[in-house]
Amino acid sequence: MLLLICATLLFQGFQCASREMTTAKVALQRGDTEKAIENLKLEIDKNPKNAEAYILLAELKSKEGEFEEAAALMDKAEPLCANDPKLRDRPANFKFTIFKDAIDKGQENFNRWLSNKTNTRQFERAVSNFTTATKLRPHYAEAYRMIATAFELAENTDSALIFYVMYVETIQASIDIAISRGLYIGAEESAIDGKLGTRKFIRGSKMSDGDSTILDHFSINGKDLYVQLVAKQNGDKYDMPVVQSWFYDPPQNILPAEREIVPASFSPSLASMATLYYNKKDYDNSIKYFKLLAAIEPSNPNANSAIIALYQEMNKPEEAAKAINENIQRFPDNPLFVAQLGDIYMNREEYDKAIQEYEKAIKIKPDFDAALRNIASCYGNKAAIIQKAQLELVNAKVQKDVDVKAYEDILLKAIEYFEKTLKTEKFKDDPVILGDLCAAYIAMPSKKADFDKTLKQLESLENSVPKEKKEAYLMTLYRIYSATANPKMSEIEDKINSLE
């Protein structure tokens, strides 16, 4: 009987709440937040292992907008209620809720600032909200990206780069596993089969725009990898699913549904980061991040072009050529990379080698406007070199007249490609191309009718040429009139002199 009484007393003692806890709950029911907070703090001082007190205090602090303090209180509650079926899920659910609130409020304040950039208070609030989100969910790369974007749009490059670097640090594990396993943006589903460990599940869903998304869950060495693929709707069918993004080794201490949230594409942030470094003339870091972008999205033409352009700007043509050849080896059917090698040779005035590469690019894509334009220029420059040599022979009285046949075939190729260039959408009615074509026709007396027709087309563009390009346009006409002794030359000269 004594044992039973003791057991009953012990049970009653366990169930009985302290005076501070009872007072706090009564205050909550009455809406007296201040009194509730005061007594919850007293309860925690008295009983630091009371998980419920931490949870209630965290919820009240959250309502007051003290998100970071609320999260810290929940962190303390989490291990204390791990074995309590009534409380154990509340810290994780709560932290996700305030994390989501911080992101939503940050986006709201950011949008308000965008509409009126003089309102610096909205900007500061947005950054503060996003910063809170990074503290609640340090693994959530998008929050760092949002802060970086805000500073970038505020033209604070140094601060933007600080947070872009933090963004990259957050996604580094996902990047490393992708590079080591051959995973990349734009990869077809068949290209990743067998490379990403054990498949645990695959799940599809339809987006509001009609496209379909696929979430592929793999396990690599005991760590989770979530890969998101997108199948674009094409009429009543769907294109082959391609990789859009992925998330490797998400934290274990977040909600199960959170672990499946795959970040937005990494590409825009890496591109912005590389561009900011370029603008600061930090070319080494710019190349570093453009290369990182190219590694996870090999088919990104802007990244590969930027790397090559940077090497050329740094006067490192060998590195540029090496980068181009690497791209060609990986993507032999991409005409852009083949044409870029032609650009290298063209800049070195190695026109024959350049022509070979441009011809390869045009074979892959017959309407490749840039390649058509450049191969025409290569042939034109070759013809000009021969023509100049012919004039020197005439001036030296080695021969009586210029031998047109010495460059005729080459110049005809230039004309052929200039004419094809004008048929592309990009260079249709382009005054520069028309001027180059007129110059080529001038050197070919047999092309007099074509010259007259092209010159008339060029002249008809005068009123449509933008103001900032007007001088260049008039100078093109002036050179043509001068070469052909056209009486309109003085009229064009007056127009050039009257320009502001």
How do residues 182-196 score in pLDDT, each as one tens digit? 888 988 887 777 888
DSSP string of 352-396, one letter each residue: HHHHHHHHHHHHH-TT-HHHHHHHHHHHHHHHHHHHHHHHHHHHT
The pLDDT tens digits for 386-417 are 989 988 998 988 888 888 889 999 999 999 99
Does residue 220 have a pLDDT over 70?
yes
CA distance 130 to 142: 9
Strand partners, 223: 220
Determine what percent of the chain is predicted with pLDDT higher than 70.
96
CA distance 385 to 376: 14
Cα–Cα distances in angstroms (integers) from residue 267 to residues 157, 182, 284, 292, 433, in the given order: 19, 17, 19, 9, 35
Average pLDDT over residues 365-382: 94
Does residue 205 have a pLDDT over 80?
no
Mean pLDDT of the chain: 88
Q: pLDDT at position 208, please?
A: 64
Side-chain-side CA neighbours of residue 442 (13 Å)? 19
CA distance 332 to 326: 10
The domains of the chain are located at 49-136, 186-259
CA distance 114 to 116: 5
CB < 8 Å & 24+ apart, contacts of 101-104:
101/62, 101/67, 102/67, 102/129, 102/130, 102/132, 102/133, 102/136, 103/129, 103/130, 103/133, 103/142, 103/143, 103/146
Average pLDDT over residues 341-361: 92
Its pTM surpasses 0.85: no
- Per-residue pLDDT band for 131 (boundaries 50, 70, 90) equals very high
Would you call 245 helix, strand, or coil by DSSP?
strand
Does residue 4 have a pLDDT over 70?
no
The pLDDT tens digits for 451-470 are 999 999 999 999 999 888 99
Does residue 16 have a pLDDT over 70?
no
Average pLDDT over residues 317-322: 84
Does residue 274 have a pLDDT over 90?
yes
Does residue 207 have a pLDDT over 80?
no
> Could you tell me if 52 and 87 are in contact, meaning their C-beta atoms sit under 8 angstroms apart?
yes
CA distance 397 to 211: 73
Structure tokens at 237: 């069918």
Question: Rounded to the nearest 10 degrees, what angle do helices 141-153 and 90-115 cross at?
Answer: 20
CA distance 92 to 97: 9
CA distance 399 to 395: 8
Q: pLDDT at position 11, please?
A: 32
> Could you tell me if 334 and 327 are in contact, meaning their C-beta atoms sit under 8 angstroms apart?
yes
- The lowest-confidence range among 135-149, 223-237, 261-275, 440-454 is 223-237
- Per-residue pLDDT band for 159 (boundaries 50, 70, 90) equals very high
Average pLDDT over residues 318-347: 82
Strand partners, 217: 201, 226
Regarding predicted confidence, which is higher, 327 or 471?
471
Does residue 276 have a pLDDT over 90?
yes
> Could you tell me if 213 and 230 are in contact, meaning their C-beta atoms sit under 8 angstroms apart?
yes
The pLDDT tens digits for 84-112 are 888 888 888 888 888 898 899 999 999 99
Cα–Cα distances in angstroms (integers) from residue 102 to residues 126, 256, 289, 382, in the given order: 9, 20, 29, 63
Structure tokens at 481: 């009139």
Average pLDDT over residues 22-46: 92
Does residue 245 have a pLDDT over 60?
yes
DSSP string of 179-227, one letter each residue: HHHT--TT-BHHHHTTTSSEEEEEEEEE-TTS-EEEEEEEEETTEEEEE
Among 169, 167, 163, 107, CA closest to 141: 167
Side-chain-side CA neighbours of residue 372 (13 Å)? 22
Q: pLDDT at position 327, please?
A: 75
Average pLDDT over residues 172-176: 95
